Homo-oligomer: A and B are copies of this chain.
């Protein structure tokens, strides 16, 4: 997210607040319904998928308000406005992505430890890369998706152990529940990618994301049928790889990629993603010992890297002729230096443009790649260290028979008995007492 392209917060007009509220509401649905239900494919981990996602996200939006707020204080205070809520949600996505990598294999306390450290590192990386490197990443594909994916994979690596479990799978209706998550993520991803932008920049991001996702969806279905057993669709691909286009277009969403460009990116992302699920994820698990429950490497990791590369390539070809003065909204560092006549010339057309660093297109493209590498470095090192901290026995660990199982943390109804009915957890606790007294 590039803050300096937006008006300073204190002067944000009411219409912008209204617009932020709607974008915020869409992103909010993605974090809690989208991520929460996407992970309910696990047949005995549904309560935890939705419930622990809920808990982690609720902690994260509060901790993010502080962490992100520390970097943007005014007069020693953190200002909270609608845009702060949106930002906190965007940062929460990184943690939920990491959660997806370790889903079913950690205790809630381990996850909270991970959240606290990861969020602080996330906010630091976000600030550093905006205020030191000044890059464009409107959809946060590097900040959030690459960061969250590799952080989570490193945590999973450090927590390596024997993960084989018959509970690591779906049943018919849990796969349908997961589609609730998939579809809501797919529907609102244009808002996610467009939310930090304003005006034309925002609309371009919506349109590019929409077409990237459309092409991604169709390609994911096609490639899945090509590579799967008996050429049948694999629900894993349909639930996840159909979303890869949203990630892959994220960095360049507000740039002039044109709909056909967005669609090429989306189709490429879907292909990489499905091939990843089919061939790469099993090998990474066997050979490197990195078990990736939700396959976040295929939805957030590789598509995020693709996004960074695409962003760099498109940035390299961005000219004033093509973008007009909007160039400086998307790439603030390319604006003329403070006090120059060029800056005055720009401000005749767009009065709110801040002074920049007068970078050339190639320089900007180079910085885009630098940030991708820095983000990878921080997330990998941060994930390794956090994983080591999470191994402290005080935070607990999940035994083999309790992998991918709600039972250690939730009061769960008992299994179905052979005569076809199910003993249920009665709603009123006292009923058990009553039942007991009647026996």
Chain A contacts to B: CB under 8 angstroms: 14-15, 17-19, 21-22, 25-26, 28-29, 32-33, 36-37, 40-43, 46-47, 50-51, 54-55, 58-59, 61-62, 65, 80-82, 84-85, 164, 166, 168-173, 175-177, 179-180, 183-184, 186-188, 191, 199, 203, 206-207, 210-211, 213-215, 217-218, 221, 228-230, 232-236, 238, 242, 259, 263, 277-278, 281-283, 285-286, 293, 408-413, 415-422, 424-431, 433-434
Contacting pair B427 A420 (CB below 8 A): no
Contacting pair B54 A203 (CB below 8 A): no
Contacting pair B17 A15 (CB below 8 A): no
Contacting pair A47 B427 (CB below 8 A): no
Contacting pair A51 B179 (CB below 8 A): yes
CA distance A187 to B32 in the complex (A): 8
In this complex, what residue of B is CB-closest to A53?
Answer: B183
Contacting pair A29 B238 (CB below 8 A): no
- Report how many copies the assembly holds: 3
Contacting pair A172 B412 (CB below 8 A): yes
12 contacts between A and B (CB under 8 A): A18-B22, A47-B172, A47-B175, A54-B179, A54-B183, A54-B238, A62-B218, A85-B210, A277-B429, A282-B430, A415-B420, A420-B420
Contacting pair A173 B173 (CB below 8 A): yes
Contacting pair A217 B54 (CB below 8 A): yes
Contacting pair B55 A235 (CB below 8 A): no
Contacting pair B59 A218 (CB below 8 A): yes
- A176, A186, A419 interface centre (most CB from chain B within 10 Å): A176
Contacting pair A424 B217 (CB below 8 A): no
CA distance A428 to B435 in the complex (A): 42
Which residues of B lie under 8 Å from residue A278 when comparing CB positions?
429
CA distance A255 to B96 in the complex (A): 33
Which residues of B lie under 8 Å from residue A277 when comparing CB positions?
429
Contacting pair A85 B170 (CB below 8 A): no
In this complex, what residue of B is CB-closest to A31?
Answer: B187
The 9 closest A-B pairs by CB, nearest first: A282-B430, A169-B424, A58-B217, A169-B426, A50-B179, A46-B176, A416-B420, A58-B214, A55-B221
Question: Out of B164, B179, B281, B413, which one reaches A170, CB within 8 Å?
Answer: B413
Contacting pair B235 A47 (CB below 8 A): yes
Supposing A169-B424, A282-B433, A413-B170 touch, asked if A242 and B28 sit within 8 A by C-beta, the answer is no
